[in-house]
Structure 1
């Protein structure tokens, strides 16, 4: 119980967990760069129907509990139902855990999937789970760290080693970088994965970190509001789960 209490205290959460945590776990939080996603999808990107403009920043694309012995994600641990009213007013949720797939949607299905598939394994209550992910995002703040060192989404090429070093210098652990194919037949920065020990406060190198194909230097693709198509009248919402190693493997 001490490790879970430490997590709640660290993130300033007032909601206590009623579930007893397992021992031998760690967390992985994943961030997706929307500029890369918009560039690589044939359907383009769409403005969510939430009425809130997504942030020009990294989005949370996964917050998963891992078994420290097997390095496998803990999934579908309980049948705890998803309650949208518990989270809908959480500050930053619609900006930083946003769904920009086309056709336009409200993101609710992706939040529901995140909770039922992995959040229920966190030992946290539903609201605390989403608040914890957002608080970690604010603490890590990868875009601000990169921009402060001159690494900006401006179509320039940046060293993968330097990107890792900048983030590592700020949090004390090496992130995992995932690339995708971008314009000019170049690899681009797509997702960043960071692991946290079971105390909820110590960043660690991800055990058994996946290997992704990147070139030595990669593009940092810009992301602008004009890249988001406005929703069409009568366009239905659609279930979508942002890509994430934490979710898929």
Structure 2
């Protein structure tokens, strides 16, 4: 899979991915637009026209809220639940519920701790990510080389934090990745080995990522959207102080190939929902 980035204006970047001759573009990959500002809505149509002229088959973008975007011929619209911690500067582990504090404390008492990822940890992280996707019957979106690049970047750039959870014998059992900016930090990826579930590595890792984001100076911590049919995941994010709201995702075909792919994806997603 090949990818590239295309800047449009001062604050909008579209990342294009090409595979099997099909080109898809994502706005603000991987998190989407941070707000449904009037300028963003007004400029969507010219952006889509520019992407069409550049040979893009499908454009995908998302905005917080159940936002209607005028003048867009969407092949599909999906609403998902996004969760974010507001006023991050006031967040503290001590303010969490007793239940969450007990889980984090138990993890530490059992010897779990977090170390920064090393440049050669990509294969390790990808393995835990793939195991987590398999448990939830999801689809692998990221390759081992992608995690190699993340680990290499985290070693030299403070805007990316990757923590590896290790047990009392220093054996890796979980990880988390977060990207930082002054306005908002974003959770990117996480996973853990099922053999270590009793250590509650996800709770320890999430608290670490939130603290790193707060100490970076971010105003918010965005935990991104949760797949449909996983209310337990939404509840887990909210247990760290997150507030949930709707994020609307648009899938816009820009060519005959894009329209066919959009139709096919809708059909496959329907089958998956029926199978579950």
- Give yes or no for TM over 0.5: no
Q: Scaled by the length of structure 2, what TM-score is found?
A: 0.25
Q: Scaled by the length of structure 1, what TM-score is found?
A: 0.27
Higher relative contact order (CA 8 A, sep 6+): 1
